[in-house]
Amino acid sequence: MPTTADFKKGVRILLDGAPFIVVEHTLQTPSARGSATLVRAKLRNALTGQLLEKTFKAGTVFDSPDLVFRAAQFLYSDGEDLHFMDEESYEQFSLELSQLPEVAPWLVDGMSVRALHFAGQVATVELARTLEVEVLDTEPAVRGNTASGKVLKKALVAGGVEIQVPLYVESGQRIEVDPLEKRFIRRA
């Protein structure tokens, strides 16, 4: 049973009978004596994709949602919906593009994902913890940038996502990234 102390990006909780995923959270410590510490959380409804901002007292206990994970494969996008196939039953299902704003840019035809099932229906899909992508464009490495403390530069990777990469990464190279945090890990 998760509590507010367990909150981090990606934690799943059951709130008002629906599964929610923690997108971000902050801790507020009031200055008045005897006041309770508060946790502000931005939550995404796993079924509808709707964002919700809630404030909880520190230590609030939540139920864990009854989620089942199954392997699936991304097939294609038609502009409004993303189409997938369950790898066990070979049944196809689709989710609205607006329901998966953080996942959609990373999807490539034939990619394996994890489908979350809640109450017999597909709630959302999750990507692998690391993905291998191609760097489409980077800023040039300017000599002297390291002296100013700037050791990263912007790079555009496949899917149109912009991330920060080290100066030695060039266009056309393949790198591993953390799609959840949009963070460079290493060269592939």
Please give the pLDDT value at position 167: 86
pLDDT band at 92; cut points 50, 70, 90: very high
Same domain, 136 and 181: yes
pLDDT band at 150; cut points 50, 70, 90: low
Q: How many percent of the chain have pLDDT more than 70?
A: 94
176-180 long-range contacts, CB within 8 A, separation 24+: 176/130, 176/131, 176/132, 176/133, 177/130, 177/131, 177/133, 178/129, 178/130, 179/102, 179/103, 179/106, 179/127, 179/128, 179/130, 179/131, 180/9, 180/10, 180/102, 180/127, 180/129
Same domain, 71 and 114: yes
Overall domain count for the chain: 3
96 pLDDT higher than 80: yes
The residue segments making up the domain with residue 29 are 4-57
Coil, strand or helix at 23: strand
Mean pLDDT lowest for which of 79-88, 107-116, 135-144, 156-165? 135-144
- The whole-number average pLDDT for the span 103-115 is 89
- The whole-number average pLDDT for the span 118-135 is 87
- The whole-number average pLDDT for the span 117-124 is 84
Q: How many percent of the chain have pLDDT more than 90?
A: 21
Mean pLDDT of the chain: 86
- The whole-number average pLDDT for the span 170-179 is 90
16 pLDDT higher than 60: yes
Residue 62 lies in a domain: no
Q: What tens digit of pLDDT does each residue of 26-84 get?
A: 888 877 666 788 889 999 887 777 888 999 888 889 988 888 889 999 999 888 899 99
90: domain CATH number? 2.40.50.140
Please give the pLDDT value at position 174: 93
Q: 57, 83, 102 — which closes off a domain?
A: 57
Residue 94 lies in a domain: yes
Please give the pLDDT value at position 129: 86
Coil, strand or helix at 97: helix
Residue 110 lies in a domain: yes
